[in-house]
A and B are shown apart, each in its own frame.
Chain A
Amino acid sequence: SQTIHQWPATLVQPVGSPLSLECTVEGTSNPNLYWYRQAAGRGLQLLFYSVGIGQISSEVPQNLSASRPQDRQFILSSKKLLLSDSGFYLCAWTRRSTDTQYFGPGTRLTVL
Chain B
Amino acid sequence: GQQLNQSPQSMFIQEGEDVSMNCTSSSIFNTWLWYKQDPGEGPVLLIALYKAGELTSNGRLTAQFGITRKDSFLNISASIPSDVGIYFCAGGYFGNEKLTFGTGTRLTIIP
A: residues with CB less than 8 A from B are: 32, 34, 42-46, 49, 51, 59, 88, 90, 92, 94, 99-106, 108
Which of B31, B88, B93, B98 makes the CB contact (< 8 A) with A46?
B98
Which of B1, B30, B42, B102 makes the CB contact (< 8 A) with A103?
B42
B42 close to A49 (CB less than 8 A): no
Q: B7-46: which have CB < 8 Å to A?
A: 30-31, 33, 35, 40-45
Nearest 8 CB-CB pairings of A with B: A99-B92, A103-B42, A99-B31, A106-B42, A103-B43, A44-B101, A43-B103, A105-B42
B101, closest chain A residue (CB): A44
Residues on B with beta carbons closer than 8 Å to the beta carbon of A43: 3, 88, 101-104
Question: Given A51-B97, A106-B40, 16 more contacts at CB 8 Å?
Answer: A32-B97, A42-B104, A44-B88, A44-B101, A88-B40, A90-B43, A99-B30, A99-B33, A100-B33, A100-B45, A100-B92, A103-B42, A103-B43, A105-B41, A106-B42, A108-B40
A88 to B37: give the CA distance in the assembly, Å.
Answer: 12
Residues on B with beta carbons closer than 8 Å to the beta carbon of A99: 30-31, 33, 92-94, 99
A44 to B88: give the CA distance in the assembly, Å.
Answer: 9
A104 close to B42 (CB less than 8 A): yes
B43 close to A49 (CB less than 8 A): no
A90 close to B42 (CB less than 8 A): yes
Is B63 close to A, CB under 8 A? no
A99 to B51: give the CA distance in the assembly, Å.
Answer: 13
Min CB gap A70→B, angstroms: 19
B1 close to A46 (CB less than 8 A): yes
Residues on A with beta carbons closer than 8 Å to the beta carbon of B93: 99
Residues on B with beta carbons closer than 8 Å to the beta carbon of A32: 97
**Digit string of B83-111 for contact with A (CB within 8 Å is 1, else 0)?**
00000101011100111011110000000
Which of B33, B94, B102 makes the CB contact (< 8 A) with A101?
B33
